[in-house]
């Protein structure tokens, strides 16, 4: 079967009534998650994993997996849409990738052009979503075919590259990011070793023999971590919301934003493919490029439409681009895709080159649903933007108990274990202290997800080579991945050291 036939089957799956419902609920919740400052797509997706597991209980395992992933993916790219709303109306980014949108979006709102800014952000996000999905369809099969040829040495090196990429670009300190990566890898070793049958780090506690549940840790670190942060630091948003007048942008504004949307979509897509780069980097880079190319760069920061169109297109394109290495290579390139990968594995589905062969309904159903979801988002965001603006004003005294309840009941419904609830609370406290001290959580989650696969591929490679570690260097593709992984860590350190030496010379 060709790509067109597979895609047609994917649309058949996506158009089943309950999958349409899950896609709609996903993008609706995702938009709300993006609108609410401080939650973000990672927390939103982690929070909803147990909810989707319960909601799809009436379906067969394969159908339940497809429906759950459709909903969670909808939350992911829906949050990218919603993040622009608070940036434009309140000068407060809903999530990190919408930080750049505040520079011109809020200035437009202050001039009475909030409606135009929100509409262009929605249109740019839609175009970016379509561009990345077309690219995903074209690249999925070739990349999967290439990845099938990978052996255990290549997979080990590729996963190591994924860890280094996220660690090298996460947070302000590379050292802290690497520490969190190691912590994630160590947590992944807890339990009974599947090969030798030896218990590791269990301390004769029966509950630990099965290992730590990814779901419990993810929900605790992200969702409860944010709750503890809000409560303990008494965070209250008192910003004044700008008024929304005309939602229809003028012909001139549409013309001005066409090229920035196209450039932002392409740039964001290619940055999104890179493991660890992420939507935040894509939006900043798109804004800088647009300012460099503009004939009137002095207008940026004062309320120019290009300053909204380009970064908003880029961050949505990057979120779509990040799905390519996840689905085709089994390598999550960001914290959110790492959580999505954990959701796949909860249903015993391994993302990677064999996904399109062994589970075509899941893979192509997800891709088709993302097309439908993007159309839903465009339809939702234009008329309901005033409603989403009201969500911003949700008092924390109502919002926090809801998050806590969903976290506790969701985890207990899946695990049915009081020990998991205690672990959930412990992870929430741990997550708060990590964020308070600028320790990035994404590398920990990535280490936890990739740890078992890295260990298994390391063992397989050494078994093939009779314990000869040179297999990782003598295989060209594996050696290339290792070199790139090393550079991903070393280059930022060199740049940082050079920057310090320049500062010292200036001070001297």
Give me the tens of pLDDT residue by residue for the chain, a chain 508 residues long. Answer: 577 888 888 899 899 999 999 999 998 888 887 776 556 677 778 878 888 877 777 778 778 888 899 999 888 888 877 777 777 776 666 566 676 787 788 788 777 777 788 888 888 888 888 888 888 888 777 777 776 777 889 888 888 887 787 665 555 677 888 898 899 999 999 998 877 788 998 988 888 888 888 778 877 887 788 788 888 877 655 455 555 666 667 788 788 888 889 888 888 888 777 665 567 667 877 888 888 787 887 788 777 888 888 888 888 888 888 888 888 878 776 778 888 888 888 888 888 778 888 888 888 888 889 889 888 888 877 677 666 666 656 677 777 887 788 778 777 776 778 898 899 899 999 989 998 888 888 788 778 877 888 888 899 899 999 989 999 999 998 999 899 888 888 887 787 777 666 555 555 5
Distance (Å, whole) CA 208 – CA 202: 5
CB within 8 Å of 37: residues ≥ 6 apart: 86, 90, 92, 93, 94, 237, 392
Residue closest to 135 by CA, chosen among 327, 357, 1: 327
Q: Which two tokens stand for residue 242?
A: 């700008």
Q: Are 316 and 84 in contact (CB under 8 A)?
A: no
Residue closest to 157 by CA, chosen among 464, 450, 499, 506: 450
**Residue 443: its H or E element:** helix 442-464
List b or e across 203-223, with b for residues whose CB sees 16 or more CB atoms inside 10 angstroms. Answer: eeeeebeebbbbbbbbbbbbb
CB within 8 Å of 503: residues ≥ 6 apart: none
Q: What is the largest CA-CA distance in the chain?
A: 70
* Residue corresponding to tokens 């809000």: 230
Distance (Å, whole) CA 460 – CA 466: 10
Distance (Å, whole) CA 409 – CA 68: 18
Q: Are 351 and 326 in contact (CB under 8 A)?
A: yes
Cβ–Cβ contacts within 10 Å for residue 305, how many?
26
327 DSSP 8-state letter:
I
Distance (Å, whole) CA 440 – CA 181: 9
Is the pTM higher than 0.85? The answer reads no
Distance (Å, whole) CA 357 – CA 364: 11
């Amino acid at each position: 079967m060709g790509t067109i036939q597979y895609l047609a089957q994917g649309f058949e799956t996506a158009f089943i009534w309950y999958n349409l419902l899950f896609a709609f609920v996903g993008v609706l919740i995702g938009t709300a998650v993006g609108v609410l400052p401080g939650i973000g797509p990672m927390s939103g997706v982690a929070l909803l994993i147990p909810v989707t597991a319960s909601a799809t209980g009436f379906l067969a395992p394969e159908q339940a997996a497809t429906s759950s992933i459709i909903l969670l993916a909808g939350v992911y790219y829906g949050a990218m849409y919603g993040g622009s709303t608070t940036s434009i109306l309140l000068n407060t980014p809903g999530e990190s990738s919408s930080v750049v949108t505040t520079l011109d979006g809020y200035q437009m709102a202050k001039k009475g052009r909030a409606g135009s800014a929100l509409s262009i952000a929605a249109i740019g996000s839609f175009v970016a979503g379509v561009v990345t999905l077309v690219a995903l369809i074209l690249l999925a099969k070739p990349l999967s075919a290439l990845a099938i040829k990978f052996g255990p040495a290549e997979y080990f090196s590729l996963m190591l590259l994924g860890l280094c990429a996220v660690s090298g670009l996460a947070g302000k300190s590379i050292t802290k990011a690497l520490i969190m990566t190691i912590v994630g890898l160590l947590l992944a070793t807890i339990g009974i070793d599947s090969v030798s049958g030896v218990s590791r780090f269990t301390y004769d506690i029966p509950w630990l023999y099965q290992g730590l549940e990814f779901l419990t840790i993810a929900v605790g670190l992200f969702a409860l971590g944010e709750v503890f942060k809000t409560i303990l630091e008494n965070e209250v948003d008192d910003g004044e919301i700008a008024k929304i007048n005309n939602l229809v942008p003028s012909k001139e504004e549409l013309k001005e934003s066409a090229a920035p949307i196209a450039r932002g979509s392409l740039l964001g897509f290619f940055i999104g493919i890179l493991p660890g780069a992420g939507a935040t980097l894509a939006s900043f880079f798109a804004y800088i490029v647009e300012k460099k190319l503009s004939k009137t760069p002095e207008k940026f920061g004062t309320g120019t439409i290009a300053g909204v169109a380009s970064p908003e297109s880029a961050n949505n394109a990057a979120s779509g681009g990040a799905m390519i290495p996840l689905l085709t290579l089994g390598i999550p390139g960001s914290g959110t895709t790492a959580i999505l990968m954990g959701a796949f594995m909860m249903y015993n589905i391994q993302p990677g080159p064999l996904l399109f062969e062994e589970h075509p309904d899941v893979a192509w159903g997800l891709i088709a649903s993302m097309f439908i979801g993007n159309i839903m988002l465009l339809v939702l965001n234009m008329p309901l933007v005033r409603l989403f603006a009201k969500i911003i004003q949700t008092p924390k005294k109502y919002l926090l108990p809801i998050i806590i309840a969903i976290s506790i009941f969701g985890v207990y419904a899946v695990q049915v274990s009081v020990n998991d609830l205690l672990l959930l609370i412990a992870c929430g406290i741990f997550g708060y202290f990590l964020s308070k001290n600028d320790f990035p959580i994404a590398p920990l989650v990535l280490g936890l997800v990739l740890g078992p696969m890295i260990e298994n591929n390391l063992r397989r490679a050494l078994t093939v080579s009779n314990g000869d570690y040179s297999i990782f260097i003598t295989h060209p593709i594996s050696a290339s991945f290792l070199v790139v992984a090393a550079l991903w860590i070393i280059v930022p350190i060199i740049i940082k050291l050079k920057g310090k030496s320049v500062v010292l010379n200036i001070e001297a």
